[in-house]
Amino acid sequence: MKKKNFICIILAKHNSSGLPKKNIKSFYGKPLLYYTIKAVKESKIFDRIILSTDSKFLKNYAEKKGVDVPFLRPKRLATKSSPAMESIQHALEWVKKYDKVYDYVQYIFPANPLIISDDIKKGIKMLIKKNCDMIISLSENNKCSFTSNTLKKNLLIKNFYPKKYRLKNRQLMPKTYSINGTIYVGKWDIFYKKKDWLKQNVYAMIMPQNRSVDIDNYYDFEVAKLMYKLEKKK
């Protein structure tokens, strides 16, 4: 790891359709963005940390916390329909032009205030050990996702999920996992050039459920507050 260089790109736009002004929303007295910056900086991994945002408030806040904000993200990349991939590539274009090409890139949203620096270090150590293209964090689902499906307009649920799972008790169902939106770390070119990460040589990093939240709406926010409070009591 000492022979490689690492850059972290934090993506935090001004507004969110699910939870207005999510990234500056107070979470136990601090903006949600604070917890991501704290974990990233405490990992002591990165040669450079950049915030990509369209918000002057978030820019000023991040700079006070020691994070570089060398540009404001164009509004076209800060809408509810703009893919995160385009914002990452926009940031890396700037980095390549005005700084250099790094060996590895970590990108992260401020949507999980339960993240700790060990999660970040674990992902990067796994990336180096496996010599793979990318590591993405997942967490175990509370309920088996084989019993989930899309719903028809007429609400008919005949053959809703596979027959082989219908008569099994929950304890006998296979474990399933979901991407939890916390850790995405990989080689520079995977972020800079590739459009479909899951077609690459990508491995899962399993994160515990008690540190796996992805705040998209008010309900997620309240659940995260409860989980954070319970973690602090341990």
- With beta carbons less than 8 A apart as the criterion, state whether 121 and 207 touch: no
Q: Give CA–CA dist 15/228, Å, rounded.
A: 23
Q: According to CATH, what is the number of the domain 6-137+181-233?
A: 3.90.550.10
- Confidence at residue 167, expressed as pLDDT on a 0 to 100 scale: 81
Q: What is the dihedral of CA 96, 188, 190, 116, to 10 degrees?
A: -120
Using only the alpha carbons of the chain, give its radius of gyration: 19
Which regions of the chain carry the CATH code 3.90.550.10? 6-137+181-233
Look up the pTM and report it: 0.91
Q: What is the pLDDT of residues 171-216, one digit of tens each?
A: 778 889 999 999 999 999 999 998 789 999 999 999 999 999 999 9
pLDDT digits (tens, 9 = 90+) for 20-33: 999 999 999 999 99
Contacts of 234 (CB under 8 A, 6+ apart): none
pLDDT in tens, 155-183: 999 999 888 888 888 777 888 999 999 99
Mean pLDDT across 95-116: 96
| pLDDT tens-digit map of 64-101 | 999 999 999 999 999 888 899 999 999 999 999 999 99
pLDDT at 178: 94
pLDDT at 2: 65
